[in-house]
Amino acid sequence: MDIQLKKGVLDLCVLGTLEHEDNYGYNIYRLINDALGISESTIYPILRKMVKQGLLDTTLQDSPDGPPRKYFTITDAGVKQLQTLRASWQSFVKRVERFIEE
């Protein structure tokens, strides 16, 4: 998949991943990587940016495998942003499909 296409949907994917369940950075990366094939270093700047924007909150939770993990939780502002991004994505896909349908 083209890198520019991936960059355009990563915020949507991160928020969508956290919509129903809190998660930690590496697992968020793994879930998105399985679908899109991204590098691990891509996800952490996005998570930090979203925390700074108030779209995500963080908490430390104990890990059975070592030190505590930083879990990310979507905020009310994050849910609103997810709804906006989702609507934009769906509109975009409909418009593009007109050009690529057989």
Would you state the pLDDT for residue 95?
A: 92
pLDDT digits (tens, 9 = 90+) for 53-98: 999 999 999 888 889 999 999 999 999 999 999 999 999 999 999 9
Would you state the pLDDT for residue 7?
A: 78
CA atoms within 13 A on the CB side of 80: 6
Would you state the pLDDT for residue 61?
A: 92
Looking at 1-102, list the stretches that DSSP marks H as alpha helix, in order from N- to C-terminal side: 3-18, 25-36, 40-52, 76-100
pLDDT digits (tens, 9 = 90+) for 18-60: 999 999 999 999 999 999 999 889 999 999 999 999 999 999 9
Would you state the pLDDT for residue 101?
A: 83
Q: What contacts 55, CB < 8 A, 6 or more positions away?
A: 15, 74, 75, 77, 78, 81
pLDDT tier at 1 (50, 70, 90 boundaries)? low
Does the pLDDT value for residue 4 go beyond 70? yes
Domain ranges of the chain: 22-96
Q: Encoding tokens for residue 77?
A: 């502002």
What dotted CATH number matches 22-96? Answer: 1.10.10.10
